[in-house]
Structure 1
């Protein structure tokens, strides 16, 4: 059941982050960005103890996904 919630939250966070960053991705990439962003953002926010609870985890997921997109655009492979 945890995996299902991770995918749902990851999809929502990835969708919001990709739209805020102006990036069009397919469903699998959006979910992957959201899940990885959730891990990055969740660990960061929990470590800093800035925000707690479900809302804090969601905000952390969106911020982490946005950071991942920024890193990908900055240091990822260049398009043609």
Structure 2
């Protein structure tokens, strides 16, 4: 069940992050960005703020996805 929840939250976070940063990607890439962003952002927020809950996890997922997009644009896509 947590894996399915991670995919759903990751898909939503990836969708919002790609739209906020004006990146047009396919569905698989958007979901992957969201899932990895959720992992990165969730770990960062939990470590720094020591907060739990769905709302903070979702915010962390969006921030992590945006960080991943920025890193991709800065260092890989040229």
Q: TM-score range by the shorter chain?
A: over 0.9
- Give the superposition deviation at 1:50: 5.7
* Structure 2 unaligned blocks of 5 or more: none
Q: C-alpha distance in 2, partners of 1:42/1:53? A: 10
What's the secondary structure of 2:37's corresponding residue?
helix
Aligned residues between the structures: 78
- The TM-score, its normalising length taken from structure 2, stands at 0.94
Verify: 1:44 aligned to 2:52, yes or no.
no
Other-structure match for 2:65:
65
What aligned pairs does 1:1-80 form with structure 2 within 5 A after superposition?
A: 1-49=1-49, 51-78=51-78
Q: C-alpha distance in 2, partners of 1:6/1:21? A: 22
Give me the CA root mean square deviation.
1.0
- The TM-score, its normalising length taken from structure 1, stands at 0.92
* Structure 1 unaligned blocks of 5 or more: none
